[in-house]
Amino acid sequence: MKEPATVEVEVIGRGEVSEHARRLAREKVAALERVVKGPVLGARVVLTQEHNPRIPNPSRAEAEINLQGRLVRARTAAPSLDAAVDDVAERLQRHLRRYVDRMITRQREPSEWSHRVWSPPRPPTFERPIEEREIVRRKSFSFGPMSVEDAADALEDLDHEFFLFRDADTDTDAVLYWRDDGLLALIESRDAESADYGPVHERCRFSAPIALETSVSEMNEVGHRFLFFENAATGRGNILYRRYDGHYGLIEPADD
C-alpha cells in the first residue's frame, strides 16, 4: 500500500486562484517527496493568475522544496493554472532527480574541482605549463533568447556542466551550471535585475567588461574550472574553460 505524503506544502495564491488549483498544486508537489531519499523540511507553491488578455500564458506557478536547507526550485507559465501546476511539478521532479543523482555520485566519487562546480569524474586534465596554454577551440551558441526554465531544460538535455544563453527576461547573457552541492545556479551580470525565484542567483566576478587576455590571466592565477565574463571587445558574455588537454576553450555567442 502506498504511504501518504507527509511533507507540508504551503500554497500562496495571487489573483483569482481557485481552491481546485490550490489542492492540485498541494497534491502534486507533496507527491514529489518520493523522489527524495532524505527528509524534506517543507515546500511552497506560488500560483499567480493574470487578467491581461495580451499575455499568452497568464497563469504562473513557482514551486520550491526545502531539502535540509537547500532549496530546489522550478517555475513555469501556461494558458491555465491547471497546466501551470502540471508543468511546474514535472520541472521540479526533473530538478529533484538530477539533484539526488548528483549527490549520490558525488558521495561515491567526489570531484576535486573548485569554483563551486561539480561534474561526474572524467579523465584527469593534463597539467600543461601556463606558458604553453592556448585557446585552441572556439565554440559559439546560436540559440535565440530563452527563459531560465528553457535554459535549464537544455542544460539537462545536453548533460553539460554549464550552459551559456541569452536570458529573455533580462536581455543579458547568463550561464546556468550545477554547483558542487547539487543545486542549479544562475550567474548573471552585475547590473541584471534578478528574480527572487528559480535557481540560486550569483553575480559575475567582474563589475565591468574585461579583455579576453585578462580572463586568461585570471584562469592562470586561480585555476577555475570555468570563468564567466563580459568580453570588452564584443560586449557579450563569454565562458573560458579548461580543456582536458590543458589548453583553454572559449564559448561565445554567435553573431546575431
pLDDT of 37 higher than 90: no
Q: What is the per-residue pLDDT across 150-204, written as a single tens digit (0 to 9) for each? A: 888 888 777 678 899 999 888 899 999 988 777 788 998 877 766 656 678 888 8
In a domain, 114, yes or no: no
Same domain for 144 and 72, yes or no, is: no
In a domain, 29, yes or no: yes
**Exposure on the CB side of residue 52, measured as CA atoms within 13 A:** 8
Which residue blocks in the chain are alpha helix, DSSP H? 19-31, 81-108, 148-158, 212-222
pLDDT of 256 higher than 70: no
Same domain for 166 and 243, yes or no, is: yes
Confidence label for 115 from pLDDT (cuts 50, 70 and 90): very low
pLDDT of res. 2: 46
Distance in angstroms (rounded) separating the CA atoms of residues 44 and 74: 11
* Percent of the chain's residues with pLDDT above 70: 86
Q: Are 207 and 190 spatial neighbours (Cβ–Cβ below 8 Å)?
A: yes
Q: What is the per-residue pLDDT across 228-251, written as a single tens digit (0 to 9) for each? A: 999 999 999 999 999 989 999 999
pLDDT of res. 210: 96
List of residues 6+ apart from 27 with CB closer than 8 A = none
Same domain for 63 and 31, yes or no, is: yes
pLDDT of res. 1: 42
In a domain, 125, yes or no: no
Same domain for 144 and 90, yes or no, is: no
Total number of domains in the chain: 2
Same domain for 96 and 143, yes or no, is: no
Same domain for 143 and 204, yes or no, is: yes
Distance in angstroms (rounded) separating the CA atoms of residues 102 and 106: 6
Distance in angstroms (rounded) separating the CA atoms of residues 19 and 13: 9
Tell me the residue range of the domain where 235 lies. 130-253
In a domain, 205, yes or no: yes
Same domain for 77 and 170, yes or no, is: no
| Dihedral (CA of 189, 190, 191, 194) sign | positive
Same domain for 161 and 212, yes or no, is: yes
In a domain, 2, yes or no: no
Average pLDDT of the segment spanning 82-93? 93
In a domain, 153, yes or no: yes
Same domain for 183 and 236, yes or no, is: yes
Mean pLDDT for the chain overall: 83
In a domain, 118, yes or no: no
Of 108, 138, 154, the residue at which a domain comes to its end is 108
Same domain for 145 and 247, yes or no, is: yes
Average pLDDT of the segment spanning 90-97? 88
Confidence label for 119 from pLDDT (cuts 50, 70 and 90): very low
Same domain for 18 and 63, yes or no, is: yes
Closest C-alpha among 37, 98, 47 to residue 72: 98
In a domain, 157, yes or no: yes
Beta bridge partners of 229: 238
* Percent of the chain's residues with pLDDT above 90: 41
Same domain for 138 and 94, yes or no, is: no
pLDDT of res. 114: 38
pLDDT of res. 105: 64
- Cell 563551486 maps to which residue? 116
CATH code for the domain in which residue 29 is found: 3.30.160.100
CATH code for the domain in which residue 210 is found: 3.30.505.50
Average pLDDT of the segment spanning 30-37? 86
Distance in angstroms (rounded) separating the CA atoms of residues 57 and 21: 16
